[in-house]
Structure 1
Amino acid sequence: MTWPDGLVDVVSAHLSCEVATIARDGTPIAWPMVPLYLPERDEFLLTTSIGFPAKIAHLERDARVSLLFSDPTGSGSGAPPVVLVQGSATVEPEVQTATGDLLAHWARVHAVQPMSRLFSSTPPTRWFMDFYYMRRLIRVRPETVTWWPDRDTAHAPRRRQLAPVAPAAAPVPAPTHATVGDAEWTDLVRNLARFPDAVLNAYDDDGRPVGLRASPRVDHAARVLHWPGPAGVDVAAGPASVLWHSHDETMWSLRSFAARGAIAPGDDGLVFTPGGVLPGLGLSGPLGDGKVFLDARRRAGRYLSRRGLPRPRIPWDRLRVPT
């Protein structure tokens, strides 16, 4: 079935989207990623560095995935519809650097995020950041598209099935009962105040990951977040997470963090109980961000070592980045 009029243009214009994958414990976890829609295949190409392998492991265990196009910053689209794509993912087995569709991905990244060229601008940064260019390719087959023309998830969305829906790999897991301690709750509240809204990632009643952007209300006494109940989307009680992230018009000034926990029905919508905080970028200063990349470089080394793989040489000339 064909896409609804105009939605391909909407998703193609977005610099980033929130990609939800299923963690080992069954929690849907979202990541900001650069999407590339390939119309000739009707699929989305996503890539991730082997320095950040969690989403690879998630998708190799469970192919269910959702892509939420909810932040149009830098797209030049004004206030386009919010678009949720649910589908199945396939992860290509090879570690790639600059071959085939990955070249199209790099062209897209360099166009929408020109500051990322700093990673390859000098011999020292090429040495330190080479892991960033060691990629696994993820291909997402869209099955269902849901969209909110007025961007308000309190209003009923429109929906179209694009392809047969793959059966859920497992039932929705039971919710966890972990809660955050004093320090984590303080950090969470301090950091979420820096963002106007957030993305809730949970399951729908069909057992597929779903992303919903809204502005949660903080309940300090109960240490929960009250989430407006979405119209037309049935959110299942169970494990869930919340992602806060932002970027500027050139996809720089990146900031993000997340919390994992459980979602349940509440009196006026949904109630998210955080069970842990996941650190991200841009909230801990240069030293904190530097540690993120240093840890990623080390993870990439372990990834290659455990598989007996040599460290790939990056063909800088093929990437067409400044020397």
Structure 2
Amino acid sequence: MSLSPASGTAGRTNWPAEILPVLENALTCEYASLTRTGAPITWPVGPYVAEDGRTVDVSTGLTYPSKAERARRDPRVALLFSDPTGSPVSGPPVVLVQGLATVRDADLQANTDLYLRRTLAKYPQAVARQPWFLVRRQAWYWARIWIEVTPLRMLWWPHGRLDAPPQRWEAAPEATAPPSDPAPTGAGAPGWLEPPADWRLRADHAVRLGDPVLTVIGEDGWPLPLRSLGATRVDDGFLVRTGPPGVLARGRACLTFHTHGTDMSGQENVVLVGEATPLPDGVHVRVERALADFSLSGSRLGQVRKMMRTARALAPRLEREAARRGQPVPALRRLR
């Protein structure tokens, strides 16, 4: 296994050195948080190791803040690094991080500047494909809320061997995370996308995106996302072969299918939620519904048209969400 740290944070943290390159170089990870009722929801997001090496950070758009709002209500979150697509790390382990989330939205301009800087460093093609005057018109996307995750527990499976017991790291018993910024005032906007009326259509498409991540609630009450070893479509959902031995997957469950290009030039997501029942060789997930998802695939022209439609839908939410936080809409400032 060849591991090469990318950004030099290894000397500033006591996290296991062998998993740092995965955290630093992964283009995506699967971020799991909990709803008001304690059900897990898992979405692929872009991860960033903080400059001080103390947190693993993810973000969500100011215009679609549900991921952050869930974390502010219940800071128990998890990050699973199980898709090495586009990463330069050879033979990486699968890494699970469980930690406490700190939501940062008290300075939206600083958040936006940071997101642009991190995106240019990690996904340069995301900006290079567009002229700057178009990028500046996409504040609905670039305006960000940050979620800083302080790891309390890390599990990793060397060489991605999920059929073997993982290695383990735990933070000191007194470890904790700073509090989140105060919640915004007033009611948030409803979801901007209508979920599919029939989950079966999305499930039929999902099987083409590869093996899903199954998220359940662990015995300790934390979200537990696990990369599966395969899933078979059945009439009422999926039969999922789980990787890590000894995991009792029962209760509320989320199945996350996703794929992306090696340069993040496109991505597809399907997220299904339901109920998990353990089987002798895996888990039966009875699907109840599909969540509204945003995928970007196909031709470049088709992607541009979809982004323009999305901009029209989300732009009105930008001022509302900034005003709820007592701040002006952040500007896109070109980095020099």
TM range (shorter): 0.7 to 0.9
The structure 1 residue matched to 2:74, chosen from 55, 62, 67, is: 62
Instruction: Give the drift of 1:120.
Output: 6.9
Corresponding residue number in structure 2 for 1:46: 58
Q: Secondary structure at the match of 2:322?
A: helix
Is the CA contact 2:251–2:277 (under 8 Å) kept in the aligned structure 1? yes
Matched residue type, 2:133:
P
How far does residue 90 in structure 1 lie from its aligned partner after superposition?
0.7
Which digits, 9 at most, give the CA deviation of each residue in 1:175-203, with x for residues without a partner? xxxxx9994213311x1132121111211
Letter in 1 for 2:52: E
Structure 1 residues 133-142 or 224-233, which shifts more? 224-233
The answer as to 2:131 corresponding to 1:121 is: yes
Aligned with 1:141 (options 150, 165, 177) = 150
Name the amino acid aligned to 2:136. R
Contact conserved, 1:157 with 1:232, CA < 8 A, in 2?
A: no
Runs of 5+ unmatched residues, structure 2 = 1-12, 177-194
Residues 13, 75 of structure 1: 8 Å contact kept? yes
Task: Name the stretch that deviates more: 52-61 or 228-237.
Answer: 228-237
Check 1:137–1:182 CA distance in 2 against 1; reply closer, same or farther (3 A cut).
Answer: closer
Contact 2:63 2:317 in 1 (8 A): yes
> CA separation in 1, counterparts of 2:197 and 2:148?
40
- Normalised to the residue count of structure 2, the TM-score between the two structures is 0.79
Shift of 1:134: 1.6
CA distance in 1, matches of 2:279, 2:45: 31
Q: Report the counterpart of residue 198 of structure 1 in structure 2.
A: 212
CA offsets, 1:274-310, max 9 Å, x none?
1111223136964655544443333333323445543
1:82 maps to amino acid: V
Q: Determine the structure 1 residue equivalent to 2:183.
A: none
Identity of aligned residues (%): 29
Equivalent pair of 1:113/1:252 in contact (CA under 8 Å): no
2:227 matches 1:210: no
Higher alpha-carbon deviation: 294-303 or 240-249: 294-303
Contact 1:200 1:211 in 2 (8 A): yes
Deviation larger for 13-22 or 32-41: 32-41
CA distance in 2, matches of 1:108, 1:28: 28
Kept in 2, the 8 Å contact 1:16–1:71? The answer is yes
Structure 2 letter corresponding to 1:149? P
How far, CA to CA, are the matches of 1:28 and 1:103 in structure 2?
A: 30
> Residues of 2 paired with 1:196 and 1:124: CA distance?
33
1:89 aligns with 2:89: no
Mapped partners of 1:181, 1:53: distance in 2:
20
User: Where do 1:214-293 residues align within 5 Å?
Assistant: 214-221=228-235, 223-232=236-245, 234-278=247-291, 279-282=293-296, 286=303, 290-293=308-311
In 2, the alpha carbon distance for the partners of 1:234 and 1:39 equals: 34
1:36-61, Cα deviation, whole Å (9 max, x unpaired): 11363421122222012001110110
Tell me if the contact between 1:74 and 1:250 (Cα under 8 Å) persists in the aligned partners.
yes
Report if aligned partners of 2:266, 2:297 keep a CA contact under 8 Å in 1.
no
Tell whether the 8 Å contact from 1:36 to 1:105 is kept in structure 2 after alignment: no
Q: Secondary structure at the match of 2:136?
A: helix
Q: Which amino acid aligns with 2:65?
A: P
CA distance in 2, matches of 1:59, 1:182: 27
Aligned-residue RMSD, C-alpha: 2.8
Counterpart of 2:200?
A: 185
The aligned counterpart of 1:22 is 34
Cα deviation, 1:64-84, whole Å, max 9, x if unaligned, reads 110111111111113200000
Offset of 1:119 from its aligned partner?
Answer: 8.5
Equivalent residues of 1:203, 1:210 under 8 A apart? yes
Aligned match of 1:302 in 320, 329, 333? 320
Q: Distance in 2 between matches of 1:199 and 1:184?
A: 17
Matching residue of 1:110: 120
Distance 2:37 2:297 in 1: 27
